[in-house]
Structure 1
Amino acid sequence: MTPVFTTRPSWQTAPAPLARAVEARVGSPIIGFTDVHGGMTPGPAATLSLGNGDTVFVKAMSAHVNARSHELYQQEAAVLAVVPATVPAARLRAVIEIGDWIALVTDHVRGAVAGPPWTTAAVAAVARACAATARVTAPESLPPVLARLPDLDGWVNLAAEPGDLTGWEARHLDRLTAATIGWRTWTSGRFLTHQDIRGDNAIVDPAAGVAVLVDWGSGAAGAPWLDRALLAADVVAAGHAEGPGIARQQALDLLTDQPVEASRFVIAQAGMWRRNSTLPAHPGMPTHRAWQRARADALQPLIEDLLAMIDT
């Protein structure tokens, strides 16, 4: 289930002044490029081959095309500017703003996206990257995670307007809502969190077994288990190469040694996706709501396990 909601234009469509500014900042002419596709933003992204033999990654966005994505790129630039070198993130080379355009230039990370579908090796590599991130105290300039989290009152909101509930949701609704109460308090903390862990937001070098986290626009200070919980949710929601049973077991393994709030967070994520799937489509992203619904539905078997753990 690859989250592709829009078609990225080619890097060659980027404004010429922006491309020239990139060359000036990296100190070498661009002699070739390979477009990168996928993800949720409708701006060009590419690996650039430079005349000095170097390779960098660039992504760009116009506020006129998508104001929210432009804002996220600004947020990502601020995060990457302050994260320590111990964090598994691509290093920021340059931030270029010309007119309503912004471009981020980072180190090129070798490897492939972790998924979907996930593999056991990719789950392990990304879990290690999440653990390394969680050991870092968030830089003071980063906001609290509550400023970056979506509304996680999905099950509570659905309970107030239950007309669209499935039988499974209706049977479990009281426990689902109870499990998510208080999320604004228990997600808080002082540790660095990427806060957007998905298979397409991690690059894995299979030979080294190392993962680098990318797309840091939601980076914040929060609870140390947040990224691990997001990983567990995505392994099940996005799918595993060995099937849903393996995905479910690996998600449980990721959550078993974590505070109970990590399991409650996964339940809240599902509620957020399920509630948001009932809203009007985003402009230019006609498949996004169906993707959210599919993720919420896929998490139901895992949620039954988590509810049982919470109840004991």
Structure 2
Amino acid sequence: MSADDASAPPLAFSGQRLGWADLPRAVRNRISTLAGARVTAESSANSGFSPGFAAILELTDGRGVFVKAVSPEQNPESPDLARAEIRVAAALPPQVPAPRLYWWHDDGEWVILGFEVAHGRPPEMPWRPDELQLVLDALIPLADAEPLPGHDLPRTDVKLAGDFTGWRRLQQRPADEIDALVARSGEIGAWAQANIDHLILWEEDSLRVCTGRALVHGDLRADNAMIDPDHHRVTLIDWPHASIGAPWLDLAFMLPSVAMQGGGEPQTHFWSHPVSDGVPPQDLRAALAGLTGFLTASSVLPAPVGIPNLRRFQRAQAAAALEWLRELA
């Protein structure tokens, strides 16, 4: 493994957050108008990969609102992700533990969203067993949730069709690039290289096993959960990747990051969780093959604009997911 991978797990942080004073005056004025009061203070979010502005704003009337604001200048894809989050917010049923979207504005360049403040804090890292249990318990009602009627959320298998081809794409890369990736990934990378034909075969089945009718967050990690320890309550945030699919996907896709951040063995967590009931092991293996291929292939790409830490995070997630996948081989 490389030196950066051998150290503490990488942080989920874009590294390029804007402050209130960095926003154009017109954007600040629009936020004040939408909020219905002037802004008196800000508390910037300190986790998550989204670049741009993300902060709790205190208002002159005593209220608070969590505001995201992004333009293509911070990252070309971020405005479309913000627009997706607007669509998702309209589809979330009340039993889903997510902040309510109060208002939004899109002028074609800047996309602004104003959310209910999610009280609490991110989980402590490495994971504390009690906090991990709270978050895993929050996935039980999520697995039973379906979007509101009239939604336009995509099917998970359709949404992931372009992503879950990573092993096939890696097989076509130059041999020296693959050798470098294996050297950086150590024993688990060598195992993946030796079993690439199996990984491709399982990956080809990954979209089939993703189908279903449940609401899938699609990007659950520690930085997308807020814990209110006083009320033993969890709020799940950042929903632009939501889709409709198998009810056990969020658990399966979250657990590699849990392992990466000191939360214990994915195999144990998955099969002891209620949402795993009835899941064929070969279906879990196929889904993980799709996920590991996506993470591994993505980790060798250049860093996206405004998100310099993402590739290292994906590389560490891929290693944890591959360790689990090897148990299922």
Does TM, normalized by the shorter one, top 0.5? yes
Contact 1:7–1:37 under 8 Å retained in 2: no
| Runs of 4+ displaced beyond 6 Å | none
- Range 188-197 or range 125-134, more displaced: 125-134
Aligned with 2:30 (options 21, 44, 57): 21
How far apart, CA to CA, are the structure 2 residues paired with 1:15 and 1:185?
46
- Partner SS for 1:112: coil
Q: CA deviation at 1:113?
A: 1.3
Contact 2:17–2:51 under 8 Å retained in 1: yes
Change (3 A) 1:226 1:176: same
Alignment of 1:32 onto 2:32 = no
How far apart, CA to CA, are the structure 2 residues paired with 1:17 and 1:279?
35
Q: CA deviation at 1:147?
A: 4.1
Mapping of 1:52-63 within 5 angstroms? Answer: 52-63=61-72
Q: CA deviation at 1:95?
A: 0.3
Q: TM-score, normalised by structure 1?
A: 0.87
Change (3 A) 1:112 1:258: farther
Amino acid at match of 2:218: Q
Q: CA deviation at 1:299?
A: 2.8
Q: How many residues were matched structurally?
A: 303
Q: Which residue of 2 aligns with 1:144?
A: 155
Amino acid at match of 2:171: A
Q: Which residue of 2 aligns with 1:234?
A: 257
Q: Which residue of 1 aligns with 2:277?
A: 257
Q: Which of the pair has the greater relative contact order for Cα pairs under 8 Å at 6+ separation?
A: 2
Contact 1:59–1:103 under 8 Å retained in 2: yes
How far apart, CA to CA, are the structure 2 residues paired with 1:31 and 1:147?
44
Contact 1:276–1:289 under 8 Å retained in 2: yes
- Aligned-pair identity in percent equals 29
The alignment yields a C-alpha RMSD, in angstroms, of: 2.3
How far apart, CA to CA, are the structure 2 residues paired with 1:67 and 1:178?
34
Cα deviation digits, residues 16-73 of structure 1 (max 9, x gap): 2222222222222222111223322220111111222211111110123322111000
Change (3 A) 1:233 1:60: same
Alignment of 1:155 onto 2:187 = no
Cα deviation digits, residues 104-158 of structure 1 (max 9, x gap): 1101111111354332223222222222122122233222123433511222333
Q: TM-score, normalised by structure 2?
A: 0.83
Q: CA deviation at 1:183?
A: 1.7
- Range 248-257 or range 118-127, more displaced: 248-257
Q: Which residue of 1 aligns with 2:7?
A: none
Contact 1:8–1:38 under 8 Å retained in 2: no
Change (3 A) 1:153 1:191: same
Contact 2:214–2:245 under 8 Å retained in 1: yes
- Range 113-122 or range 69-78, more displaced: 113-122
- Partner SS for 1:46: strand
Aligned with 2:135 (options 112, 126, 136): 126
How far apart, CA to CA, are the structure 2 residues paired with 1:287 and 1:22?
29
- Partner SS for 1:44: strand
